[in-house]
A and B are shown apart, each in its own frame.
Chain A
Amino acid sequence: MDLSNYLLMKPELSLTAVFLLLIIYDLFASDKTKKYYFPVACLLFLVHTVYCFFLLKEEGTSFGGMYIAGQAQAAIKCILNVGVFMIFLQANNWLSKPDAIVKRGEFFMLTVLTLLGMYFMISSGNFLIFYIGLETASLPIAALVAFNKYTHESAEAGAKYIFNAVFSSAIMVFGLSFVYGACGSLYFDNLAISMFSSPLIIMGMILFLAGLFFKISLVPFHLWAPDVYEGAPTNVTLYLSTISKGAAVFALMVILYKVFPLLSGVWTDVISIIIILTITVGNLFALRQNNMKRFLAFSSISQAGYIMLSVFNGTQFGMGATLFYIFVYVFSNAAAFGVITAIENQTGKVNMSDYNGMYATNPKLTWAMTLAMFSLGGIPPTAGFFSKLFVFSAAMEQGHTILVFIAFLNTVISLYYYLLVVKAMFINKNSSPIECVSTDGYLKISLTLSMAGILLIGMVSCVFEYLRAVSFGIW
């Protein structure tokens, strides 16, 4: 066995090193040194994040095509790293609570472990390793969702998540067995060659896609999302809605074009219908929510629909638009959830009606939230404007005019509910608004980072141009 195979897997190796160091530290540190656990964990992850930026140019395959390292894969890994880093920074206050402080280590370890699973999912060149990555990514999340095990909602959400995750995995593997039975291979490259159109394969593909759609929470496979998002600890909700979704979207995009290009006639129709359903249902349900986490759950369902618009475009531009959308979405959601975390930790309030009149007492948090809402709603000059328009252009390029039109009208609906949050904070009167929330330094860094991202990565065109340029080598 040639050990040089491993050299390509530097991001995974580095992440594994972070994981092991975290375990060792947690196990062997004395109580006195353990109070530095949080900064050390963040620092370790920061080192890993920075290191991954140096690996952006690595390319190649190893283990006979099982593992693929490409520039697009490296880029999406960096995007996820940045997102996870921001999530870590936001978690300090929550993890310092007496209930959570004893298992602080677990939060970091489990998160890093799921990220490792996503890395394998992203870089897979074979359904086997894809499936292992997917499972590694899902199962620890269930533990994370149930992290606040003494609160009823969290435990319930954990149970809901694990049942859905296992069920969707089962459906997916069932579908894969059809494909394997018909084509005789699990390697993406071989499958692409031996693929043919038969009812068996189409059935297998549909089952496989259904399983993956569960992960991305597209309608009609979205029913688990709102309850889980609401029950999970806020930082974990952020992780679920951005990182785990982003990785799954990327994997889906790669597989669609690598393995099933021959059946594009079938899945184009399927995905078109699902996009319309997802965007509309997500938007309509978001209109009536009062709990902010539930509200953002539905918003993230509709956002997933928008991402899919460029996923099934199939050109380099479409791929770039997808990556860019995920990148922007990570920043926007990080800002929104950062504000929610800050307020929830101090006051325990998560309802939109609690935010009434917040501008008088917490102007900075209000601005952060406003920017996040504008970015999610696609209002310039935030990055969300550009990401939405590129996604629409990508779909339009393929002639899906009606689809773009419906999606665009839906942005008007979505704007309505995003503005409701802005309205609550700025306009609504409240005799007892949320008192002045003091945020810790880490959260401040995270919010500043996400706000800078929201304002800059759209206007500064090189980000998009880079992502588009690297999207060349996906298949």
Chain B
Amino acid sequence: MNILSLFVLVPVLMLLAFIPCRNIKQVRTVGVIGAVIELAMAVVLLFMFFAAREADPISEMLFVYDAVWFESMNIHYSIGVDGISVLMILLTAVIIVTGTFASWNIDPLPRDFFMWLTLLSVGVYGFFISVDMFTMFFFYEIALIPMYLLIGLWGTGKKEYSAMKLTLMLMGGSAFLFVGILGIYYYSGLNSFNMLEVAANGAIPIEMQRWIFPLTFLGFGVLGALFPFHTWSPDGHASAPTAVSMLHAGVLMKLGGYGCFRIAMRLMPEAADELGWIFLILTGISVVYGAFGAIAQTDLKYINAYSSVSHCGLVLFAILMWNQTAMTGAVMQMLSHGLMTALFFALIGMIYGRTHTRDIRELGGLMKIMPFLAVCYVLAGLASLGLPGLSGFVAEMTIFVGSFEHTDMFHRVFTIIACSSIVITAVYILKVVGKILYGPVVNDHHLELTDAVWYERVATVGLILCVAGMGMFPGWISSLISSSIHF
């Protein structure tokens, strides 16, 4: 059996294993075992991929498997990975493991929580391994819907509103997307959903590209928090329970960038060339506006959600630049943002679990009270503002170098504008760190609180190791990426 199919099969088996679980211990056991198996598989896949790439440097996708699903529509269950997908799968596996530890004491209905979370992971893994656009869309939709109940049932604050807003906006995006995919199917002249086939031989007429490209880019862009359609993200992330925020900001938003690159840009480069400027303006706004938005917020999760808008905007921004360096940067930013955002949300969840507030005005002096969590928070903040040695620096550096490679005025001006977000990021990160960690203790009850327990330490340390590892040794990642994209 193809190793890639296992990534979908294992969560499905996990779902079955959850059904007879009676108490939270059994649920945790199944959850942890499943997630660790997935992580192990992802690591094995990475090494297998290196070996296979060595043996076969030409094919775009490796570990290819193809089975006809609906013959009349030419729909295939067609899977395969290149370096980018391998990295994305690895990211997903890491975040699911840490997310499982971060939701150790989930209440109420732990079994249902983990079942929906696992269904979500089925969708995410399936999305990253698919080569067939219909199958990809199928998995994409599977990943969206569990969000509704995960936020609505286990969330905090105005959760019902946020859950509905998030679901409907993303489903609206998928409406654009599917019409776009059908457009590719019928107008590429191939009647094929296989994106490699379309990329290789498809000739979508430019008149068609002019409306299919915006549809697909917008469709995925909604999930990637593209400017006017980003409003689901702050509410959704703020209301979601910890593990869901981690998974959503860490992985799901990457589905947007990944899809934009794989489908919108790859298959319709001419229209991207022609219309890319519109989206470049929008992503430019996302980057700067998201950063300014974060400054104004007082809720820790909102701050982080807006910072996600800014960082994910940078991913789409780099993809639109459409050259080797910028694309490498985009994928690195996806990884880096996925890891550090997950770390942030995990830490915020842990702090909130103790203090029962996320308002920075009611927090202070946490460095004395919970030094472990506070140090981790500082590290996450430094990664976010791009300190060399941590993951954020390599990613943003690559993106801006790549973007500046464009010689025309328009791209360069926007690169400079986007660069300003680095400074703004530093403002809100340092402001928060200074206030809640080093400031005076605001609430005396907080002095009785305890530091992280073992499962929380597992989650945070795991993520910090990844963030630091990526910052220290980015070489193999960038070579993996650049072996997969050719311009």
Q: Which A residues contact B (CB, under 8 angstroms)?
A: 317, 320, 374, 379-381, 385, 389-390, 392-393, 396-397, 401, 404-405, 408-409, 411-412, 415-416, 419, 422-423, 426-427, 461, 464-465, 468
Contact = CB atoms under 8 A, between A and B. Distances in A.
B149 A412 contact: no
Given A380-B138, A401-B179, A408-B175, A396 B186 contact: yes
Given A408-B178, A415-B168, A465-B72, A401 B145 contact: no
A65 to B, nearest CB: 30
Given A409-B175, A411-B171, A427-B160, A374 B72 contact: no
A431 B138 CA distance: 38
A468 B72 contact: yes
A405 B72 contact: no
Contacts of B72: 317, 320, 464-465, 468
A404 B181 CA distance: 12
B95 to A, nearest CB: 22
Given A389-B178, A416-B164, A422 B148 contact: yes
9 nearest CB pairs, A to B: A408-B175, A396-B182, A427-B152, A461-B70, A412-B172, A380-B141, A412-B171, A468-B72, A379-B145
A379 to B, nearest CB: 5
Interface in B185-238: 185-186
Interface in B435-476: none
Interface in B70-93: 70-73, 75
The interface centre, meaning the residue of A389, A392, A405, A415 with most chain B CB atoms within 10 A of its CB, is A389
A465 B185 CA distance: 19
Contacts of A317: 72-73
21 contacts: A380-B139, A389-B178, A392-B179, A393-B185, A396-B182, A397-B186, A404-B179, A408-B179, A409-B172, A412-B171, A412-B175, A415-B167, A415-B168, A422-B148, A423-B164, A426-B149, A426-B152, A427-B152, A427-B160, A461-B75, A464-B70
A341 B408 CA distance: 67
B132 to A, nearest CB: 13
A404 B413 CA distance: 39
A438 B238 CA distance: 40
Contacts of A426: 149, 152-153
Interface string B131-146: 0001000110110010
Interface of B: 69-73, 75, 134, 138-139, 141-142, 145, 148-149, 152-153, 160, 164, 167-168, 171-172, 175, 178-179, 182-183, 185-186
Given A401-B183, A405-B175, A419 B138 contact: no
A381 B69 CA distance: 14
A419 B70 contact: no
Nearest to B148: A419
Given A317-B73, A405-B179, A412-B172, 11 more contacts: A380-B141, A396-B182, A408-B175, A408-B178, A412-B171, A416-B168, A419-B164, A422-B149, A427-B160, A461-B75, A465-B72
A311 B431 CA distance: 61
B186 A374 contact: no
B138 A404 contact: no
Nearest to A467: B72
A464 to B, nearest CB: 6
Nearest to A374: B145
Given A380-B138, A393-B73, A412 B168 contact: yes
A386 to B, nearest CB: 8
A323 to B, nearest CB: 13
A353 B139 CA distance: 32
Contacts of A409: 172, 175
A423 B160 contact: yes
A317 B72 CA distance: 8
B88 to A, nearest CB: 20
Contacts of B71: 461, 465
Contact of B153 (A320, A392, A427): A427
A385 B160 CA distance: 24
Given A380-B142, A409-B172, A465-B71, A392 B160 contact: no
Nearest to B140: A380
B5 to A, nearest CB: 15
Contacts of B142: 380-381
The interface centre, meaning the residue of B142, B172, B175 with most chain A CB atoms within 10 A of its CB, is B175
A415 B148 CA distance: 11
The interface centre, meaning the residue of B139, B141, B185 with most chain A CB atoms within 10 A of its CB, is B141
A183 B33 CA distance: 73
Nearest to A320: B72
B381 to A, nearest CB: 34
Contact of B141 (A385, A422, A465): A385
Contacts of B160: 423, 427
Contacts of B175: 405, 408-409, 411-412
A301 B331 CA distance: 46
A461 B71 CA distance: 8
B182 A392 contact: yes
A392 B134 CA distance: 13
Nearest to B122: A381
A468 B186 CA distance: 19
B70 A393 contact: no
B182 A404 contact: yes
Contacts of B153: 426-427
A392 B180 CA distance: 12
Contacts of B183: 396, 401
A87 to B, nearest CB: 29
B69 A415 contact: no
A401 B138 CA distance: 21
A74 B49 CA distance: 51
A423 B167 CA distance: 12
Nearest to A469: B72
Contacts of A465: 70-72
A309 to B, nearest CB: 13
B362 to A, nearest CB: 27
Contacts of B172: 409, 412
A389 B138 CA distance: 10
Nearest to B191: A397
A415 B166 CA distance: 12
B171 A415 contact: yes
A468 B175 CA distance: 25
Given A385-B141, A423-B152, A464-B70, A393 B168 contact: no
Nearest to B75: A461
Given A404-B182, A405-B175, A408-B179, A390 B168 contact: no
A41 B149 CA distance: 41
A220 B66 CA distance: 47
Contacts of A397: 186
A156 to B, nearest CB: 35
Contacts of A393: 73, 182, 185
A392 B179 CA distance: 9
Contacts of A423: 152, 160, 164
A311 B387 CA distance: 60
A280 B134 CA distance: 26
Contacts of B186: 396-397
A401 B72 CA distance: 21
B167 A419 contact: yes
A397 B168 CA distance: 27
Contacts of A416: 164, 168
B138 A390 contact: no
Contacts of B164: 416, 419, 423
A417 to B, nearest CB: 11
A385 to B, nearest CB: 7
B107 to A, nearest CB: 14
Contact of A379 (B141, B178, B182): B141
A390 B179 contact: no
Nearest to A413: B168
A465 B172 CA distance: 29
Nearest to A397: B186
A380 to B, nearest CB: 5
A416 B178 CA distance: 19
